[in-house]
Chains A and B, each alone.
Chain A
Amino acid sequence: MAPQEIVVFVEGKGDVNAVPILAKRVMSTLNERGDVVVAASPFRVRGVGALVREGGKDWLRYLQDATKRARVVGVLLVLDGDLKEVPKTWKTYIDRFRTSDFCAMRAAAALADMGKAARAGELFSVATVFVMKEFEAWLLAGIEGLRGKSLAEGRGIIPANAEVPAGLDIEGKRDIKGVLRKSLGGVYSETLDQAELARHVDLTLLRQRCRSFLRFESAIRQLVDSARSGAHALSPIIV
């Protein structure tokens, strides 16, 4: 029997390859039966601002498009959580939480909830995750696993002493790309290197250092469980 599929929605060009690789690595630990897999072609959506405008018109369109595929049972949305405030146009968030301050858990729950209009939770599952604050935080958090690995196209070898700078708040710091670039010897390109680094990043350290990665793992676990049980879910939910 053909496996059921989870479609990954990502934000950036580098994420298109890198996030599915991390998702597959996580799933390989949960899914030895191979009955649920990550779909081959991820969706590249823009950031949260584009998804929520006009009542989430684009978000709902993409959900309906993705779930037309016969084997798709779930959608995993992974966005950067580098906002200070949610867009002023996101009325459902502002009305519900009475603030426009960005909170990753609230934003994720609000996006999952918007998906109901596309019959998410009924015909298929949706789990939303915000990487804090951008995808490179996850690469930096597991940087020890990258030591000695080659960058794409032989552009350099990652230093054997590459490490997280002392005292750095990995999930709180802005411009984590710049920190990662420096840690990798000055040569890092989002579009060239993300996928290869995602293959090698140390997941154990990543779990210890990034709460948002734990959320990523739990989202995948929920999607796999829902696929197996047939009880479609929205994740997260804030009561």
Chain B
Amino acid sequence: MIEQITIENFKSIGKVTVDLSPVTVLIGRSGVGKSNFLRAIRFLRNYLTSPAKAVEIEGGWTRLWPFGLPVRQSITVRFRLPGFHEPFQYAISWGKTENRADIAQLESERLSMGNAEVFSWGSRQWTAWPGEGPKPTYPPGQVALGSFPTVPEAVLAYTAWTSAIGWYDFPAAVFSGPLTNNERDPQQTGLNDNASNYLSVVLALTQDLRDQHSRRTILARLRQVSPTVRSIELDSVQSPHRVIVGHLFGGEKRALELAQESDGFRRYYAHLLALYQTPPKQVLMFEEPENGVYPGALRNLAEEFIAAADNRRGQILLATQSPELLNGFAAEQLRVVDLDPETQRTVVGPLDADQIESLKTQLLYPGELLTVDQARIAQPTR
């Protein structure tokens, strides 16, 4: 679980340090930087896997610099991994290169566990070298975190920050297109970001005979949205090509392909697959999961997000603009995103103490922080 993240000079973000909960819900007006906060985490994940691709996905370094101006950037994360008593901390920074505004240079990395340093480098030299064999005089110009196959702490931290993070912003067309790219993404396990490998994920769920609860819960949730649904299964376990949704219309059974279902149904199903995928991710991020989903189903979706975190199926981070969805969360789970009125940079913080009290005493419902009494960031204690 990510306990704390510090992001410096990433897109609209100047410098923020945010404590995260098992479920963290980002709220705030449009354009204040909610997505940029989530994308900073996605960027770190992608960068550790493939630096060039990560930068390309974000539109190049000029779009990663704040206001397009080259400046030192860094991301520092404190996180816990199962089986380790001490928290890990990983920090990575990039600096500008001379005479180039479109390229950044990896500047330093440091991994520690508790007070013990696992490795670190900066200023063109190793300050803590964990590897065996000859120590290189200078980091090889690539991310070091994934380069120590004999150092278990580094291997686990690398895994936690690459394949164990899911970032989902499902389009309305999810599951409706031709199955041209359903192959497994070698860089990821589980449901990939655009859910194009969903048949593999449904197959894994189907084949996991120890866990029938997940499949039944998914079906029950879908029936809340579409009461005629009786089943949702692969067309073939040996060689799956599509997901078939079984309906009962007035006593008559009908089988529809998933692609024939409504946008809202498919998006809802995509979120459930993300939450119930096996093996589970460590962290699941969702951008405005309410889009296209029937408002009456959003409370159920909020319940599923909370249940996923409670049942160790992943830490949840999401950004929402939906009062209905927000009504499903507690005050401590909310983080307010806003722009600093002076610097116009993104700031993130816990909810104002008075508003927390109003939520706890039910003077205010969480959704009303988006409609009646706009959410405010807690003032720092002096």
A45, B376: Cβ atoms closer than 8 Å: no
Interface string of B348-359 (1 = CB under 8 A from A): 000000110110
| A69 x B354 contact (CB < 8 A) | yes
Cβ proximity bits A43-86 to B, threshold 8 Å, 1 near / 0 not:
11100000000000000011011101100000000000000000
User: Is the C-beta of B211 less than 8 angstroms from some C-beta in chain A?
Assistant: no
Say yes or no: A65 contacts B376, CB within 8 Å.
no
Task: Tell me the bound Cα distance from A66 to B358 in angstroms.
Answer: 9
A64 to B358, CA, bound (A): 8
Determine whether the beta carbon of A64 is less than 8 Å from that of B376: no
B contact residues around A45 at 8 Å (CB):
372
Chain B proximity of A192: nearest CB distance (Å): 15
Residues of B within 8 A of A65 (CB): 354-355, 358, 363-364, 373
Chain B: minimal CB distance from A76 (Å):
15
Decide if A208 is an interface residue (CB 8 Å cutoff). no
A217 to B373, CA, bound (A): 24
- Asked whether any CB of chain B lies closer than 8 Å to the CB of A41, the reply is yes
Tell me the minimal C-beta distance from B178 to chain A in angstroms. Answer: 41
Which residues of B have CB within 8 Å of A41?
373-374, 376
Instruction: Please name the residue on chain A nearest to B364 by beta carbon.
Output: A65
Provided the pairs A61-B362, A61-B363, A61-B364 are in contact, do residues A68 and B372 lie with their beta carbons within 8 angstroms?
A: no
Tell me whether B260 is interfacial, beta carbon within 8 Å.
Answer: no
Residues of B within 8 A of A62 (CB): 363-364, 372-373
Rounded to whole angstroms, the CA-CA distance of A12 and B64 in the bound complex is 37
Query: When the two chains form their complex, are residues A64 and B363 in contact, meaning their CB atoms are under 8 A apart?
Result: yes
**Given that A61-B363, A61-B364 are contacting pairs, would A68 and B357 also be in contact in the complex, using a CB cutoff of 8 Å?**
yes
- Asked if B371 is at the interface of the complex by the 8 Å CB criterion, the answer is yes
User: Could you say which interface size class chain A belongs to?
Assistant: 10 to 19
Shortest A75–chain B CB gap in Å is 12
Complex contacts, A64 vs chain B, CB 8 Å: 358, 361, 363
How far in angstroms is the closest Cβ of chain B from A52?
16
CA distance A61 to B359 in the complex (A): 10
Complex-state Cα separation, A39 to B161, whole angstroms: 43
Question: Could you tell me the distance between the alpha carbons of A117 and B320 in the complex, rounded to whole angstroms?
Answer: 34
Query: Which of B357, B361, B364, B371 touches A44 (beta carbons < 8 Å)?
Result: B371
Q: A61 — which chain B residues lie within 8 A by C-beta? A: 362-364
Q: Output the least CB separation between A85 and chain B (Å).
A: 25
Residues of A within 8 A of B354 (CB): 65, 68-69
Q: In the complex, A68→B356 CA distance in Å? A: 11
Chain B residues within an 8 Å CB radius of A68:
354, 357-358, 363
Nearest Cβ in chain A — how far from B305, in angstroms?
A: 26
A125: min CB distance to chain B, Å:
19
With most chain B CB atoms within 10 A of its CB, the pick from A64, A66, A68 is: A68
Which residue of the partner chain B has the closest CB to A118? B363
The distance in angstroms between the C-alpha atoms of A197 and B28, with both chains bound, is 26
**B376 CB contacts on chain A under 8 angstroms:** 41
Q: Which residue of A lies closest to B361 (CB)?
A: A64
Roughly how many angstroms separate A45 CA and B374 CA in the complex, as a whole number? 11
Q: Smallest Cβ distance from A34 to chain B, in angstroms?
A: 19
B352 to chain A, nearest CB (A): 9
A45 to B368 CA separation, bound complex (whole angstroms): 9
Query: From residue A83, how far is it (CB to closest CB) to chain B in Å?
Result: 21
**A9 closest partner in B (C-beta):** B372
A68 to B361, CA, bound (A): 12
Within B181-217, the residues touching A (CB, 8 Å) are none
Contact A43-B373, Cβ < 8 Å, known A61-B363, A65-B364: yes
A44 vs B372: C-alpha distance in the bound complex, in angstroms? 4
Complex alpha-carbon distance, A45 and B363, angstroms: 13
Instruction: Please determine whether A43 and B372 come into contact, CB atoms closer than 8 angstroms.
Output: yes
Q: List 18 A-B contacts (CB under 8 A).
A: A41-B373, A41-B376, A43-B372, A43-B373, A44-B372, A61-B363, A61-B364, A62-B363, A62-B373, A64-B358, A64-B363, A65-B355, A65-B358, A65-B363, A65-B364, A65-B373, A68-B354, A68-B357
Residue ranges of B at the interface with A (Cβ–Cβ < 8 Å): 354-355, 357-358, 361-364, 371-374, 376
Identify 11 new A-B residue pairs, CB closer than 8 A, beyond the known A61-B364, A66-B373, A69-B354: A41-B376, A43-B373, A44-B371, A45-B372, A61-B362, A62-B373, A64-B363, A65-B354, A65-B355, A65-B364, A68-B363
* Nearest 4 Cβ contacts at the A-B interface: A65-B358, A68-B354, A65-B363, A61-B363
